[in-house]
Structure 1
Amino acid sequence: MATHPKEHFAESLLKRAHSPDTASTILRERVKQRPLLLRPTSPDPSLNARSKRQYERLQKAKADRKSNKPKPLSAKRKRALCIYEIPKEQQRYAIYEPMHTMWCGYMREVLGLSGGKRVFVDANSAGPMLVSADYHGALVEVTRSRCVSRVGLKGIVVKDTKFTFEVVTGKDEVKAVPKEHTVFRFEVPFECREGDGEAKQPLVFEIHGSQFENRAPERANKKVKAHFDPDL
């Protein structure tokens, strides 16, 4: 007595969703006649001396590439190498005077004073610009501070950190002035042009260092509200 071939389990599942002819076609094209792609396996290095030497060369090359990749310096290593310290021979006020001249031109552009089109600024319009400005090169003077000995300190900003302004003074000394509880004053002179009769007085600004306790790139998106500071 002839026995019927056992139905493939995939065909029985396909018949639940398709007609018998469609199920048979899908089974034949997608299952039975589907090519099986094989990837040649690597020989066991322990059984083949040549393969073992090749394997060891590949592992050595991989380790060399990993070891040659430079690693970022840690904060402790940066302090030990004094990467952010200004060398003693470069702590001279005369070196940074040209940078202050460039900064004055930069501030005139920020405040819209270039070209003589504008001669007046108010706190509402200038405040957001001053907060987002860069102060490397600014000639600042401490006008108010909880530490009385810092009042009157004047110098060009050579480093603007999160909590301090590092300035080089006229005595060729670098001083770190904390921003907290300190008011700084700086001037922005008008552009000198030929034919001007009387020289204009520079614009004088005072900023509260407590409002600038952010790194320079982070201050661009910071919003500062005008309010009275009771700490001073």
Structure 2
Amino acid sequence: MELGKVGHKNQIKYSNLLPLNQLWLSYIRKVLGVESFTSIPENSNNPNWENVNQQLIKADFHGAKISIEKSKCPTLVGLTGIVIQDTKNTFRICGLDNVIRTIPKDVVKIHIHLDNGVILKAFGRQLRIRPVERAVKKFKNTRIVQL
């Protein structure tokens, strides 16, 4: 085995990504403009909800802990992990079992796990833009489409 060779399945461990998740939680607090995630409005009738939604769509998800709530592909439902790569069409996550999986965005509804038990829900389809482009794009308020 050569030193510095990458690509081995067991190189990334879930436990080693926990500090990245803590850094992401700090980042997302700043993005959403909240001290605590418990201050995020709980329903879409709240006037501040649209701002939260817009900021969330534009956010970078590298380091976020996500789980798959619904999917057109039943084998994806229930998968949980920390995002290690966010591309236009996929999330690559490292699961609790230290296995790296690729999740297609267009067929899933995800839970984004924040601290204090707060969970935000999003359709992967709404995040199907490269993270760099998502950060600067203006989004229109659209109808929610079911999977």
TM-score by length of 2: 0.83
User: Which consecutive residues of structure 1, in runs of 5 or more, have no partner in the other structure?
Assistant: 1-84, 190-200
CA distance in 1, matches of 2:95, 2:11: 12
Greater length-normalized contact order (CA 8 Å, ≥ 6 residues apart): 2
Identity among equivalent positions (%) equals: 29
- CA contact 1:108–1:188 (8 Å) conserved in 2: no
Match of 1:217 in 2: 132
CA distance in 2, matches of 1:218, 1:160: 12
Query: What's the CA shift string for 1:19-66, capped at 9, x where partnerless?
Result: xxxxxxxxxxxxxxxxxxxxxxxxxxxxxxxxxxxxxxxxxxxxxxxx
Matches within 5 A, 1:8-157: 86-114=7-35, 119-121=39-41, 122-157=48-83
2:17 aligns to what SS in structure 1?
helix
Query: What's the CA shift string for 1:135-185, capped at 9, x where partnerless?
Result: 000000000110111100000000001100000001110000000021110
CA distance in 2, matches of 1:110, 1:87: 34
- 1:185 matches 2:100: no
2:106 aligns to what SS in structure 1?
coil
Match of 1:36 in 2: none
CA distance in 2, matches of 1:169, 1:188: 16
Pair member with larger Rg: 1
Segments of 4+ in structure 1 off by > 4 A? none
User: Which consecutive residues of structure 2, in runs of 5 or more, have no partner in the other structure?
Assistant: 1-5, 42-47
Structure 1 counterpart of 2:69, one-letter code: T
CA distance in 1, matches of 2:33, 2:7: 33
Match of 1:228 in 2: 144
For these two proteins, the number of residue pairs brought into alignment is: 134
* Higher strand proportion (structure 1 or 2): 2
TM-score by length of 1: 0.54
Deviation (angstroms), 1:224: 4.1
* Higher helix proportion (structure 1 or 2): 1
